[in-house]
Chain A
């Protein structure tokens, strides 16, 4: 069983640029959630994708957008980068099957630095 993978591992951008982060979900999982984790803080929910549609969004501006593909992999796009966007970006996959449990499994993250 393949775990959650993310790419790239590290990224350095300058203010105003755009960035795309990628996530491959764990085998058998159909839901991907993205989180932003600033240094010393807990992860903050950005949005979730289920069946290729956005299924809930946290308190993040529209310049944070995403996609989910038919193979359930996902992208996070951030436009007009700001210094405060510097953080660890985590994706988590889970299997929404109508059951009780929906454990989320996290990828290793992408460390984004905005200069």
Chain B
């Protein structure tokens, strides 16, 4: 039941946009998005709940399609600091805090 992320990797130039997708085969309660830089802890970006509630950083946007059990993270006007590996973490059956993390998407932003 590990969610699948796509793409696996993406290379951008500064200022370009990217979309990272997270798909589950099982009904989701919530999706959490994290960014992890090499050798560091994952940093919380956003949480999206079924029903449309969401909470996160102002500069990050994401969507949650309950019918398709998918979430997408939108990175606009990318900056060098956006580089890292992005993980979605999924919750099933309620606010259990037991996250099942996806396969990860490596994002590299070049000058």
Contact = CB atoms under 8 A, between A and B. Distances in A.
**What DSSP secondary structure best describes chain A's contact surface?**
loop
Interface stretch (A14-22, A42-50, A62-70, A77-85): A42-50
Given A104-B32, A106-B41, A45 B99 contact: yes
Interface residues of B, number: 24
A74 to B, nearest CB: 13
B47 A101 contact: yes
Interface string A93-109: 01010011111111111
A48 B2 CA distance: 18
Given A42-B102, A42-B103, A45-B100, A104 B95 contact: no
Given A42-B104, A90-B42, A104 B55 contact: no
Contacts of A73: none
Contact of A102 (B34, B42, B95, B101): B95
Contact of B87 (A43, A99, A105): A43
A64 to B, nearest CB: 15
A35 B100 CA distance: 10
B97 interface: yes
Contacts of A106: 34, 41-44
B55 A33 contact: no
The 3 closest A-B pairs by CB, nearest first: A42-B101, A106-B41, A102-B95
Interface of A: 4, 31, 33, 35, 41-45, 48, 56, 58, 90, 94, 96, 99-109
Given A35-B99, A43-B101, A90-B42, 7 more contacts: A44-B101, A90-B41, A102-B97, A103-B47, A104-B44, A104-B99, A106-B44
